[in-house]
A and B are shown apart, each in its own frame.
Chain A
Amino acid sequence: MTVRILVVDDHPVVRRGLTTLLGGRPEWMVIGEAQDGIEAVDKANSLKPDVIVLDVSMPRLDGLEACRRIRKSVPESEVLIVTQHDSPQMMREALTAGARGYVVKANASRDLQAAMEAVSQHKPFTSPNNG
């Protein structure tokens, strides 16, 4: 079954990298991109993706607040945080905000596929070193 994905990051080059890393699996389809939290919430509401890959530090609205709003308005969409913050405290906050998964950007190439697999089946995932 196709997993429809929304990729959110304020750097286009990172969105492109994430899309490339997710491109290896035919059943995963990136259906949209957003460059900040506000746009992420809007696109989540209109596209109703299965998984939203969400950065934390973004202009206008950060990823944690975007996550809270998305979980409220589109509870069927799962959120996978992909961030440069390698911090257990940040991870706890992300999970409290409703994220199903947490991946540190530095480990994205190692963890992104496993995280996407878990989160798309509504299972939790955190990077091993943050476990």
Chain B
Amino acid sequence: MKLRILIADDHEVVRRGLSTLLQTHEGWDICGEAKDGREAVEMAKQLKPDVVILDVGMPNLNGLAATRQLVQQNPSQKVIVLTITDSDEVIREALDAGARGFVLKSDAARDLVSAVEALQRGRMFFTPRVNDMVLAGFLDKGHTGSRNESPKVPQLTPREREVVQLLAEGKSSKEVATVLNLSTKTAETHRSNIMRKLGFHSIRDIVVYAIKNNIIQVQVPSHVDDRESSVVA
């Protein structure tokens, strides 16, 4: 029986690349392609793929939040997270969300097939670089006790994090309500709860929070730092 794979990335050019890469493997079938995390979660409900490959930086619902929802709806769902960011926070969040594979986008052509093979055999897969980081973090923690514990910050619920992403992407409360299938009033309540919990007063604060906490990612061109930046997927 074929291994069924669902791919999610907001750039079709990347989805094409991933599909071409994986389709050459005998016994694997790309059963679906999603262009954001929300679509991936919906498609996974219908298609019941064996493996889901999710980009981290996607609009509407990012890959980390989507991983959480996928694992929540099916605890044995195998998820590989693809990312351009190899920060400790993203790795920690991906593992915490329930991802079993972590591949840097820059290494995808080399590592993605191995990652899917590993998950197919019931194992986990991390790129060597991530392995080193996880191990270093583990050893460091062992020596330093609670030094690496997160500072006490107000915890947002998964739903509130979804709302943060949508607000940071520039959506109004009404648009948030539509995307999440809520009443405008409920969306506004989420928004004011977020503001209160985090002590924020403006949308600008939410945007900064979303960037700092990897809820959205911002790409700044490497050769200049004074032009407008773009929220990337």
* Identity of the chain A residue whose Cβ is nearest the Cβ of B227 in the assembled complex: A89
Tally of contacts, chain A with chain B, CB under 8 A: 87
Provide the bound-state CA to CA distance between A14 and B18, in Å: 8
A57 on the B face (CB < 8 A): yes
Looking at the assembled complex, report how far the CB atom of B182 sits from the nearest CB atom of chain A, in whole angstroms.
Answer: 27
Per DSSP, are chain A's interface residues mostly helix, strand or loop, or mixed? helix
One digit per residue, 1 when the CB lies within 8 angstroms of any chain A CB and 0 when it does not, for chain B 202-233 equals 00000000000000000101110001101011
Looking at the assembled complex, report how far the CB atom of A67 sits from the nearest CB atom of chain B, in whole angstroms.
Answer: 12
Looking at the assembled complex, report how far the CB atom of B233 sits from the nearest CB atom of chain A, in whole angstroms.
Answer: 7
Is B223 in contact with A105, judged by CB distance below 8 angstroms? Answer: no
Provide the bound-state CA to CA distance between A20 and B108, in Å: 16
Is A62 in contact with B109, judged by CB distance below 8 angstroms? Answer: no
Is B17 in contact with A85, judged by CB distance below 8 angstroms? Answer: no
* Identity of the chain A residue whose Cβ is nearest the Cβ of B110 in the assembled complex: A12
Contacts of B47 in A (CB 8 A): none
Contacts of A85 in B (CB 8 A): 219, 221, 230
Contacts of B162 in A (CB 8 A): none
One digit per residue, 1 when the CB lies within 8 angstroms of any chain B CB and 0 when it does not, for chain A 6-25 equals 00001111111110110000
Task: Give the number of chain A interface residues (Cβ < 8 Å).
Answer: 29
Is B109 in contact with A16, judged by CB distance below 8 angstroms? Answer: yes
Provide the bound-state CA to CA distance between A116 and B29, in Å: 30
Contacts of A57 in B (CB 8 A): 219, 221-222
| Given A12-B108, A14-B17, 15 further pairs, Cβ under 8 A | A12-B17, A13-B17, A13-B105, A16-B21, A16-B109, A17-B12, A18-B16, A20-B16, A20-B17, A58-B222, A65-B223, A87-B227, A89-B228, A90-B221, A105-B13
9 sampled A-B residue pairs with Cβ under 8 A: A12-B17, A13-B14, A16-B20, A17-B13, A17-B17, A20-B16, A21-B12, A87-B227, A106-B10
